[in-house]
Chains A and B, each alone.
Chain A
Amino acid sequence: MQQHDQAVWNDTNTDGYEPLLSEKDQTAIDVEYEGLPDDLTRETLELPSLSEPEVARHYTRLSQMNYGIDSGPYPLGSCTMKYNPRFTEDVAARSEAAVHPDRAEESVQGTLQLYHELQEYLGRIGGMDAVTLQPPAGAAGEFTGILVAKAYHERNGEGEQRSEVIVPASAHGTNFASAAMAGYDVVELPGDEDGRVDLDALRSAVGEETAALMLTNPNTLGLFERDIEEIADLVHDAGGLLYYDGANLNALLGRARPGDMGFDIMHYNVHKTFATPHGGGGPGAGPIGVTAELESFLPTPQIEEKDGEYELIEPAHSVGKVHGAMGNWLVLIKAHAYICRLGDEGLKDTSAKAVLNANYLASQIDLEIPFGPFHHEFVASAGELDAADFAKRMLDYGVHPPTTKWPEIVSEALMTEPTEAESKTTLDQLAAAFNAVASEEEATIAAAPEKTSARYIDQTSAARSPQLSWHALSSDE
């Protein structure tokens, strides 16, 4: 294995690997302005004052201490870290794309057309009758979807009665948090020994207090919920709605649609399935799709098309707004471009290759994978080794590790999703990394990582005595 070094630098202020901006310069200025009364302005301001070349160097160095999907594989389960097609950046950067949100409708028909097209395309892809692009992230989409469910039940006079949202124990934390934010009690649903929804447990859990069941399909083990139609019936018969968490949609593109399975509401993660860049934590976008019955509850405004003109419409029983404007438009426009590029066959091929890659990678890894048949992701067990330590050791092999310790049904879980964008060669390298670590001494693994720039960061002190700004540092040092 080759190790390559980025350019090495030698700064005199090396308390950190790269000095803070504030360590390069801090300039305190007096703020004086005759235009406004003194008591309405601040007196001083102290911030780094650097030249453009210094700023360029600082951030370039920071980028060299950062791993992105362009650096190497990122097989994080349920994250769908796939290649971010660069041409979508160009599309988003076009100045005509960045209009002010208060522009008159008639004057931004181009923007509205793209917005409308994306609503349309996502609806077709998910099998949903109507889509809003407004939620600015997946969790925001969940919150929006639950608000729609709430409004629906309230309109039926069952708002008070339906106080519970059911969430599988293996679900993403945002599901629980989003339901709670909307004021619901969360009922946790245990899975069965095969890792899927336990139908008996579900039968006991659903009832007249059920507002919704939130599910992802395939689930976090990568397994398709074969009984999904029966699950849908159980929930609907009890008067509840079925919500689809779109994190794992990459496995189904062009082959199955949540709307056809009985889901009433779904969110899409455009920064997962539709390849918009993760940007170090965001921005993403979490559009939601709903059946015709729920369309009137969608956030406002919706874009509708009439005789070739696009207009902003307020749905009849809209839940209001979940974002101050139209959502993360600069992200949405990238998802639109991606879908246009791929088209039907590209989208269908995406799920094919995603599932092929996961299955191939799994076949090459020496670890146990207790649950199958999986699709685009699988959960391996690190066995006797600690999954978090295993992950740290993988960093030494130049790959980003999978998601660890989740779902809990697999001990020392390593949830792995390579996505369709990795080549066979890369998958072989990834498998080699897994296997190398799996065969190493516990002591070696426990000592990892060795080759990364930072190692063994003290998390305990960071939490016990938080220092969250350079101001906090200077008061201690």
Chain B
Amino acid sequence: MSYHDQLQQTKTTPTGSTGSPFAPHTEADVEAMLQAIGAESIEDLFDIPASVRFDAEFGIEAASEQEVVQRVTKVLGQNDSAIEFLGRGHYDHYVPSLVDHLADRSEFLTSYTQYQPEVTQGFLQALFEYQSLLVELTGLEIANCSMYDAATALGEAATLSQRVRSVSGNRVLVPDILRDERRAVLENYASGSSLVIDEYSTTNGVVDPDALSGVLDDDVALVYVENPTTTGLIQEQLEEIGTLLADDDVLFCLGSDPIALSLLQPPASIGADVVVGDASVLGLGSAYGTGLGLFACREKFLRQVPGRLVGASRDESDHRAYTLTLQTREQHIRRERATSNICTNQAWVALRAAIHASLLGPDGLVDLAKKCHQLPEALAKELNEIDGISAPVHDGHHFREFRVSVEPDAEDLVSNLYAEGVAVHAVDADTIQICVTDINERQTEELVTAITKVLD
């Protein structure tokens, strides 16, 4: 069927099936093929017992491409337009246009997992470069080429701890401010083993080594710390925490992202064993939470690492060539003893992140990260001038976001702000949280105006 025929297709007609626009068969093709097979009709090819046949309709009308695009655009138009000052673990930054144009090249977009490396050297190399980017940013020797998102990456870190011989305990300690969603995913990853998830107290996410020390015992297998935390605060005593957790018997797992890591302390230098987080801060943005799970760790855990790994090798003409390696860890070989059940990952999102990082280079990454500190600091100061609120709530250094003290009820304030076209978080009855990055830095005036107006 030609594209022209496809364009003519609209709704079902009573007399004939319009068929799939993506199946290229003409009637003559179908005839010839049936003849070659030796079948009377396509129906005869199906071996489905009558008792389980489905003869009804789904009630989904076919539509042309134009109709679908128009309809979906219209539905999405029902979303309120709002300038988002939202963060708490999902962040937006400006993604350069070239990222789309390169990542959308069909050789990348429509390719499969690189099980035949000879014809997929391009994507393998791109993933190798992505792994290298994370190795540089974390200082750890191994980074895989993606997990689904930050929450599932944390889950994988927890199950990793149980596979590591030197770790004998089964308790995972997470900060009290850990987002509920991440905790919930972690609980599920833990549910298949004897892992237990417990909380430790922090001061708005900032970890006090002495307090942490008080809750450590021989049963602890992994301690998770976020830097920056989803309250926006930057950790101030990571080195002390690293020292506290230096024992081989416990894993120090740090949660972060590639932009933060460009400026803040390298995980390897503060004694982290594993780094998880969301790398889609580069290349994608918050995308309703789609995510790109970051997973990096020390070399000694190599055999226990989940997810795909791309390695460099040589081919017969002695050129460097890339290949998926150490596949015996994975489900298709090790089955129920695999390090993880993960198969399909976020490879294409990793490609986008790598392209974005290549465009920024080290200077661009560091400048962007500095902005992530400067912008919230400046905005908090500005908001503090407004009567009825005070910002930032917490003493300390902020990255991308900060909390603001408001008169109760914060929910009402947030609601009213939505009506003015800006979106912020309601944290509790008298606190809101605001995230500002390069993506919305030129719209802070609208935020200030909106808040001023609503509080009047």
A229 & B335 in contact (Cβ 8 Å cutoff):
no
B59 & A40 in contact (Cβ 8 Å cutoff):
no
A200 interfacial by beta-carbon distance below 8 Å: no
The docked-state distance in angstroms from the alpha carbon of A127 to that of B184 is 29
Q: How far is the CB of B175 from chain A (nearest CB, A)?
A: 16
The docked-state distance in angstroms from the alpha carbon of A180 to that of B188 is 13
B129 & A458 in contact (Cβ 8 Å cutoff):
no
Q: What 0/1 pattern do residues 190 to 212 of B give for CB contact below 8 A with A?
A: 01110000000000000000000
- Taking a contact as CB atoms closer than 8 A, the residue among A46, A174, A350 that contacts B343 in the complex is A174
The docked-state distance in angstroms from the alpha carbon of A224 to that of B122 is 38
A68 interfacial by beta-carbon distance below 8 Å: yes
A469 & B143 in contact (Cβ 8 Å cutoff):
yes
- Taking a contact as CB atoms closer than 8 A, the residue among A125, A143, A324 that contacts B58 in the complex is A125
The docked-state distance in angstroms from the alpha carbon of A227 to that of B141 is 51
Known contacts A260-B54, A323-B151, A359-B39, A70 near B110 by CB under 8 Å: yes
List of B residues within 8 angstroms of A64 by Cβ = 107, 122
A384 interfacial by beta-carbon distance below 8 Å: no
| 20 interchain pairs, CB-CB under 8 A | A16-B319, A27-B361, A47-B365, A67-B120, A81-B112, A100-B86, A100-B423, A107-B80, A136-B291, A147-B188, A172-B332, A176-B336, A180-B337, A254-B54, A260-B54, A277-B110, A282-B345, A325-B290, A337-B72, A459-B313
Residues 371-392 of A contacting B (Cβ, < 8 Å): 373, 375, 391-392
B386 interfacial by beta-carbon distance below 8 Å: no
The docked-state distance in angstroms from the alpha carbon of A181 to that of B152 is 13
- Taking a contact as CB atoms closer than 8 A, the residue among B58, B340, B361 that contacts A347 in the complex is B58
The docked-state distance in angstroms from the alpha carbon of A350 to that of B22 is 8
A409 interfacial by beta-carbon distance below 8 Å: no
Q: How far is the CB of A321 from chain B (nearest CB, A)?
A: 4
State which of A110-118, A202-210, A436-444 sits at the interface with chain B.
Answer: A110-118
B107 & A454 in contact (Cβ 8 Å cutoff):
no
- Taking a contact as CB atoms closer than 8 A, the residue among B49, B104, B187, B342 that contacts A89 in the complex is B104
A337 & B68 in contact (Cβ 8 Å cutoff):
yes
State which of A54-62, A234-242, A287-295 sits at the interface with chain B.
Answer: A54-62
State the 6 A-B residue pairs at the shortest beta-carbon distance, nearest first.
A325-B289, A279-B348, A343-B62, A324-B151, A281-B347, A66-B122
List of A residues within 8 angstroms of B92 by Cβ = 100
List of A residues within 8 angstroms of B418 by Cβ = 104, 106-107
Please name the residue on chain B nearest to A320 by beta carbon: B184
Q: How far is the CB of B412 from chain A (nearest CB, A)?
A: 12
B358 & A328 in contact (Cβ 8 Å cutoff):
no
A85 interfacial by beta-carbon distance below 8 Å: yes
The docked-state distance in angstroms from the alpha carbon of A286 to that of B344 is 10
Q: What 0/1 pattern do residues 209 to 249 of A give for CB contact below 8 A with B?
A: 00000000000000110101100000000000000000000
Given contacts A110-B75, A325-B181, 15 further A-B contacts (CB under 8 A): A40-B397, A47-B133, A56-B102, A89-B104, A91-B73, A100-B90, A106-B80, A107-B79, A280-B120, A344-B12, A346-B21, A348-B17, A375-B45, A458-B313, A469-B131
List of B residues within 8 angstroms of A392 by Cβ = 116, 118
B141 & A472 in contact (Cβ 8 Å cutoff):
yes
Q: What 0/1 pattern do residues 332 to 372 of B give for CB contact below 8 A with A?
A: 11111110111111111101000101110111011000100
List of B residues within 8 angstroms of A339 by Cβ = 60
List of A residues within 8 angstroms of B48 by Cβ = 224, 252, 255-256
Please name the residue on chain A nearest to B135 by beta carbon: A469
A366 interfacial by beta-carbon distance below 8 Å: no
B446 interfacial by beta-carbon distance below 8 Å: no
Please name the residue on chain B nearest to A182 by beta carbon: B192
A96 interfacial by beta-carbon distance below 8 Å: yes
- Taking a contact as CB atoms closer than 8 A, the residue among B18, B79, B342 that contacts A99 in the complex is B79
Please name the residue on chain B nearest to A15 by beta carbon: B320
A128 interfacial by beta-carbon distance below 8 Å: no
A344 & B423 in contact (Cβ 8 Å cutoff):
no
B80 & A108 in contact (Cβ 8 Å cutoff):
yes
B52 & A466 in contact (Cβ 8 Å cutoff):
no
The docked-state distance in angstroms from the alpha carbon of A409 to that of B189 is 33
Known contacts A181-B340, A343-B61, A466-B325, A255 near B125 by CB under 8 Å: no
B23 & A420 in contact (Cβ 8 Å cutoff):
yes
B216 interfacial by beta-carbon distance below 8 Å: no
The docked-state distance in angstroms from the alpha carbon of A461 to that of B320 is 12
A415 interfacial by beta-carbon distance below 8 Å: no
The docked-state distance in angstroms from the alpha carbon of A401 to that of B75 is 41
User: How many residue pairs bridge A and B at CB < 8 Å?
Assistant: 650
Known contacts A90-B69, A467-B312, A103 near B262 by CB under 8 Å: no
Residues 393-420 of B contacting A (Cβ, < 8 Å): 397, 414-415, 418
Most buried by B among A65, A83, A147, A326: A65
Interface size class of B (residues with CB under 8 A): 35 or more
Most buried by A among B118, B185, B286: B118
The docked-state distance in angstroms from the alpha carbon of A108 to that of B88 is 18
A199 interfacial by beta-carbon distance below 8 Å: no
Residues 421-477 of A contacting B (Cβ, < 8 Å): 421-424, 449, 452-459, 461-463, 466-473
Q: How far is the CB of B287 from chain A (nearest CB, A)?
A: 5
B300 interfacial by beta-carbon distance below 8 Å: no
A68 & B187 in contact (Cβ 8 Å cutoff):
no
B273 interfacial by beta-carbon distance below 8 Å: no
List of B residues within 8 angstroms of A469 by Cβ = 128, 131-132, 135-136, 141-143
- Taking a contact as CB atoms closer than 8 A, the residue among B142, B192, B289, B340 that contacts A326 in the complex is B289
Please name the residue on chain B nearest to A251 by beta carbon: B46
B151 & A63 in contact (Cβ 8 Å cutoff):
no
List of A residues within 8 angstroms of B423 by Cβ = 100, 103-104, 107
Known contacts A83-B22, A458-B315, A466-B309, A180 near B336 by CB under 8 Å: yes
B323 interfacial by beta-carbon distance below 8 Å: yes
B148 & A140 in contact (Cβ 8 Å cutoff):
yes
The docked-state distance in angstroms from the alpha carbon of A104 to that of B374 is 27
Known contacts A99-B79, A283-B344, A329-B287, A344 near B61 by CB under 8 Å: yes
Known contacts A96-B79, A320-B185, A471-B132, A280 near B323 by CB under 8 Å: no
Q: How far is the CB of B421 from chain A (nearest CB, A)?
A: 10
List of A residues within 8 angstroms of B80 by Cβ = 106-108
The docked-state distance in angstroms from the alpha carbon of A261 to that of B121 is 43
Please name the residue on chain A nearest to B39 by beta carbon: A359
B62 & A344 in contact (Cβ 8 Å cutoff):
yes
List of A residues within 8 angstroms of B136 by Cβ = 45-47, 469, 471
The docked-state distance in angstroms from the alpha carbon of A55 to that of B336 is 41
The docked-state distance in angstroms from the alpha carbon of A286 to that of B445 is 42
A177 interfacial by beta-carbon distance below 8 Å: yes
List of A residues within 8 angstroms of B102 by Cβ = 55-56, 59-60, 63
B362 & A68 in contact (Cβ 8 Å cutoff):
no
Most buried by A among B105, B311, B315, B344: B344
B108 & A279 in contact (Cβ 8 Å cutoff):
yes
- Taking a contact as CB atoms closer than 8 A, the residue among B76, B336, B351 that contacts A111 in the complex is B76
B110 & A60 in contact (Cβ 8 Å cutoff):
no
The docked-state distance in angstroms from the alpha carbon of A277 to that of B22 is 14
B78 & A321 in contact (Cβ 8 Å cutoff):
no
A124 & B59 in contact (Cβ 8 Å cutoff):
yes
The docked-state distance in angstroms from the alpha carbon of A84 to that of B396 is 49
The docked-state distance in angstroms from the alpha carbon of A275 to that of B23 is 12
Q: How far is the CB of A314 from chain B (nearest CB, A)?
A: 11
B79 & A62 in contact (Cβ 8 Å cutoff):
no
Residues 373-395 of B contacting A (Cβ, < 8 Å): 373-374, 377
Known contacts A68-B106, A283-B348, A356-B45, A256 near B119 by CB under 8 Å: no
State which of B24-32, B218-226, B244-252, B447-455 sits at the interface with chain A.
Answer: B24-32
B357 & A137 in contact (Cβ 8 Å cutoff):
no
Q: What 0/1 pattern do residues 310 to 335 of A give for CB contact below 8 A with B?
A: 00000000011111111111110100
A52 interfacial by beta-carbon distance below 8 Å: yes
Q: How far is the CB of B185 from chain A (nearest CB, A)?
A: 5
B302 & A226 in contact (Cβ 8 Å cutoff):
no
A280 & B114 in contact (Cβ 8 Å cutoff):
yes
The docked-state distance in angstroms from the alpha carbon of A85 to that of B425 is 37
The docked-state distance in angstroms from the alpha carbon of A98 to that of B388 is 33
A42 interfacial by beta-carbon distance below 8 Å: yes
